[in-house]
Amino acid sequence: MHSFNKIELSDDICIYEDFSDNNEALTDLLSSIDLPWNLATPTEALGIKEKLYKELSRSSYILSPFSIQDKRLVKYLSMLFPSAIACIKDFAIDKQIFTWYNDIEVLKYEKGQYMNEHYDNALNEKIKFSVFYYLNDDYEGGEIVFVHKGISVKPKKNSVLIFSSNSSNAHKVNPVLSGTKYVVTTFLL
């Protein structure tokens, strides 16, 4: 079993460092192959009910798993699930079984790109946890800020941030000042 360095930021926000043995290969692959990145919109990133999420401004790019043709990338992304499940079991006090809300998505933030304040279960109250895998940290800015808790963090590369998706964990992403930020995201019911 893979061991993680766990950092508790609050009672319902944790970072797990040293997450995957495949981090370098996945990061290199994302930056070296031509992928069908699309500018993310609220409906692409969060599903239906765009009117409810009109205030969500995001300027990142999104890579949907359905558009990925490169078998190497699919392989590396699928290898994240066992480690993610281990972190989630550690994080979730009640140890219940969770369902993946959607497939894994990859977000890419370039200079000036950001996300405004929101919380992840605003459109679907069944969403319990948000899971963000930080592929790299060689960029400036781009911190995730939990606005009601006064927490601002830029996780190290190869770290997973897991938090409860409710309104108490409303968050935003500061603009990237330089470099390119890659984050793999998914949600659990």
In angstroms, the CA 142 to CA 107 distance is 12
pLDDT in tens, 90-131: 776 555 656 666 667 788 899 998 888 888 888 778 888 898
pLDDT in tens, 38-83: 666 544 444 444 444 444 555 566 666 555 566 666 666 766 766 6
Q: How far from 148 is each of 104, 114, 145, CA to CA, in Å? A: 27, 18, 9
Prediction pTM value:
0.80
